[in-house]
Amino acid sequence: MTATVGREARAAARASDVWKVYGSGEAQVVALRGVSAEFERGRFTAIMGPSGSGKSTLMHCLAGLDSVTRGTVSIGDTTVTGLGDAGLTNLRRDKVGFIFQQFNLLPTLTAKENILLPMSIAGRRPDPAWYDTVIDTVGLRARLDHRPAQLSGGQQQRVACARALVARPEVIFADEPTGNLDSRSGAEVLNFLRNSVREHGQTIVMVTHDPTAAAYADRVVFLADGEIVSELIEPTADTVLDTMKKLDVPAATEVGNP
């Protein structure tokens, strides 16, 4: 099944017939089986699926962190497939933002330095107005000089969100961003993400297995066994949960994704 929501020109990221195969022979595991999907600009898309469905693999391939076995991936006008390390680095630096489950902040840098790190690496200066907007949105102004160790989990993840937002990338990939947070902090983070899409036109692709988190998205794509099996527009926690339940029945035991 192919998800084809939105017009091609508006896609911020696109996967066409993407296959991802790990290992070979007996140990061969097919993580993605010909996935084609487009992720519209200015929308918040969630990728859902049970463990081993290939949702994280799809995100890693889209973000240029992992290579595809077959098919093509593109971000904006850039074809990701076939880029070398330097090209991928540039792509990640200039067009992609990341939010990880583990926050992944540098312990030696302050919150502010962490937020500005991608721009410093690229040698760019942040737009001061936009920087202020981001800082206010995530509500961290008072804690900018703190190091990660002095921040709570929720605050650390907000720093990570700010780091992704401040460079205004083409697309932000969030990998289980609320996985390590309590429900209140998780809700805060999801609100920022949704607001940054609604108010500032940011494109976000989020991988999650939490139906409540998925309900914040504009659209949910369901993966099972390496294929897109379903999708929901304007989901609610209940509709997501229902869809998940249906998927869970034939869920494969095969493990394609750690």
Partner 1 sequence: MLRATLKSLLARKVRLILSGLAVVLGVMFVSGAFVLTDTLGRSFDAVFADAYAGVDVSVAAKPKVTVGEAEGDQVAPAFPADVVGRVRAVPGVAEATGVVSADGARLIGSNGKVVTSLGPPQLGQNWTGESDLVELRQGRAPQADDEIVVNVALATAAKVEVGDRVGALTAFESKRRDFTLVGLFGYSGGRDSVGGAHEIGFTTPAAQRLMLGKPDTFNSVTVRAAGGLTPEALRDDLARALGPQYEVKTGEQLSADAAASFKEGLSFFNKVLLGFAAVALLVGTFLILNTFSIIVAQRTRELALMRAIGASGRQIIGSVVLEALAVGLIASVLGLGAGIGVGALLAWAFGTFAGGLALAGLGVPPAAVVSAFAVGMLITVVAALLPALRAARIPPIAAMQDVATPDRPLTRITVSGAVVTAVGGALLAVGLTGNAGGGTLPVILGGVLFAFIGVALLTPLLSRPVVSLLGGLFAWSVPGRLGRLNSGRNPRRTAITAAALMVGIALVTGVTVILDSAKSSIAKTAESTLDAQLVISGAQTGPRQPVFDPAVVDRAAEVPGVNTVVGIYNDNAVVDGGRMRYVVALTDLAAMGQIFHATAQAGTIATLRPDQVALSVSGAKELGKSVGDRLTAQFARSEGSHTYTVTAVLPDDRSIGSIMLPRGAGAEFTSPQPFSALVQLTPGTAVSQVQPRLEALVADNPEVSVADRASFIEQQTSGFDTLLTMIQILLALAIVIAVLGIVNTLALSVLERTRELGLLRAIGLRRAQTMRMITVEAVVISVFGALLGIVVGAGLGAAVVRALRDEGITDLVLPWSQIGVFLGLAALVGVVAAALPAVRAARLNVLGAIAHD
Q: Residues interacting with partner 1, by CB under 8 A?
A: 60, 65-66, 85-86, 89-90, 92-94, 97-98, 100, 102, 104, 106-109, 117-118, 120-123, 149, 163, 258
Q: Which residues pair with 231 in a beta bridge?
A: 221
Nearer to partner 1, 33 or 93 (CB): 93
Q: Which is nearer to partner 1, 118 or 235 (CB)?
A: 118
Q: Name the minimum Å distance from CB 122 to partner 1.
A: 6
Least distance CB 149 / partner 1 (angstroms): 7
Which DSSP string corresponds to the chain? -----S-GGGEEEEEEEEEEEES-GGG-EEEEEEEEEEEETT-EEEEE-STTSSHHHHHHHHTTSS--SEEEEEETTEE-TT--HHHHHHHHHHHEEEE-TT----TTS-HHHHHHHHHHHHT----HHHHHHHHHHHT-GGGTT--GGGS-HHHHHHHHHHHHHHT--SEEEEESTTTTS-HHHHHHHHHHHHHHHHHH---EEEE-S-HHHHTTSSEEEEEETTEEEEEEES--HHHHHHHHHHHHTT--------
Q: Which is nearer to partner 1, 92 or 158 (CB)?
A: 92
Provide the minimum distance between the beta carbon of 198 and partner 1 in the complex, in angstroms, as a whole number. 25
Based on CB atoms, which residue is closest to partner 1, 122 or 252? Answer: 122
Instruction: Identify which of residues 205 and 247 has a Cβ nearer to partner 1 in the complex.
Output: 205
Shortest distance (Å) from residue 4 CB to partner 1: 28
With respect to partner 1, which residue has the nearer C-beta, 65 or 251? 65
For the bound state, the minimum distance from the C-beta of residue 177 to partner 1, rounded and expressed in Å, comes to 14
- Distance between terminal CA atoms of the chain? 24
Q: How far is the CB of 199 from partner 1 (least distance, A)?
A: 24
